[in-house]
Amino acid sequence: MEAKTLAVRRKTTLKAIIEAALRREIRPSTEQENPDPSRFEVGPFGILRIRKTSGSPSTTVTQVRAVQEALENEELERVTHPQRQ
């Protein structure tokens, strides 16, 4: 009830107030904590990512598949042997 009263006072709708609050909550922080600026950078969406250095080799499809396979094997091991955790 208080939210509806606030909406009336602001000459807007309750839906608009809720929408604005949700947008504010999911918006990336403008001051992202960067633990090591020499290794990480803040991307265009406000998310930390590994900084690429000039001359560093690009990630290949084979490397990506190897990582995916290792993660899948780890997950399979965790599911089939839950007591080992």
- pLDDT one-digit tens code per residue, 21-78: 888 887 765 555 777 888 888 777 777 888 877 777 777 888 889 999 999 999 898 8
What's the pTM value of the predicted model, to 2 decimals?
A: 0.36
- Written in H, E and C, the secondary structure of 47-59 is CEEECCCCCCCCC
Q: Quick one: which of 29, 3, 28, 26 has its CA closest to 16?
A: 3
